[in-house]
């Protein structure tokens, strides 16, 4: 929650993670950075992907490296755990679902929207690496969007992205193929 309101890296983030790197750890992971505007979970969460974020990301990766550690960027899309109040965007998921913690009903994604999110993940991975991060971790847990696609609890689709294990895994395979 230290990013600028538009998701860009702030001086506070650079100081925070730079200080972590100074402790002698081998790897500093930047947690839960959204791949798209609707994919964030907080008002001041970091974003990775479009070129407008790269200058700050480069400064961040360089600061971590200069302070003695490798760097990793964790990327995610919050999916049906989203909050319109933070993002100003609709809450989206593989199927209609109301997160009990937030209380906002997710709208099921349409195929072109899923393909756009796949592109967002691929762009975020490439942007993170181009910005100098040593690793990019794709967050596929904790009930966020990619986990929602994998889980029959969240995913009630009857198209190419739902039903069988192969179909529920499709979004992750598509992201890997696009990278």
15-72 tens-digit pLDDT: 999 999 999 999 999 989 999 989 998 888 899 987 788 999 999 999 999 999 999 9
CA distance 153 to 146: 13
| Model confidence band, residue 123 (pLDDT cutoffs 50, 70, 90) | very high
| Model confidence band, residue 177 (pLDDT cutoffs 50, 70, 90) | very high
* Three-state DSSP state, 135: strand
The mean predicted confidence, pLDDT, of the chain is: 95
Structure tokens at 15: 């100081």
Read off the DSSP letter of residue 110. Answer: P
Considering only the C-alpha atoms of the chain, give the largest distance between any 2 of them, rounded to a whole number of Å. Answer: 50
* Three-state DSSP state, 124: helix
Strand partners, 72: 29, 135
* Residue 157, CA atoms < 13 Å, CB-side half-sphere: 26
User: pTM of the predicted model, to two decimals?
Assistant: 0.95
| Model confidence band, residue 1 (pLDDT cutoffs 50, 70, 90) | confident
pLDDT at 41: 85
User: Which among 17, 53, 144, 161 is annotated as catalytic?
Assistant: 144
Known active-site residue 144: yes
| Model confidence band, residue 85 (pLDDT cutoffs 50, 70, 90) | confident
Mean pLDDT, residues 127-133: 95
């Amino acid at each position: 929650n230290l990013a600028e309101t538009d998701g860009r890296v702030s001086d506070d983030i650079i100081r925070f993670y730079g200080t972590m790197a100074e402790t002698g750890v081998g790897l500093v992971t930047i947690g839960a950075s959204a791949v798209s505007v609707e994919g964030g979970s907080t008002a001041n969460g970091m974003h990775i992907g479009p070129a407008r974020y790269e200058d700050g990301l480069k400064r961040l990766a360089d600061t971590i490296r200069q302070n003695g550690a490798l760097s990793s960027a964790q990327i995610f899309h919050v999916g049906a755990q989203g909050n319109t109040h933070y993002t100003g965007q609709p809450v989206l998921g593989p199927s209609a679902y109301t997160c009990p913690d937030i209380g906002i009903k997710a709208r099921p994604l349409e195929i072109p929207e899923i393909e756009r999110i796949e592109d967002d993940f691929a762009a975020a991975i490439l942007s993170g690496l181009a910005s100098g991060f040593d690793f990019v971790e794709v967050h596929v847990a904790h009930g966020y969007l990619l986990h929602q696609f994998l889980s029959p609890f969240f995913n009630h689709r009857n198209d190419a992205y739902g039903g069988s294990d192969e179909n529920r895994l499709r979004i992750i395979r598509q992201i890997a193929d696009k990278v």
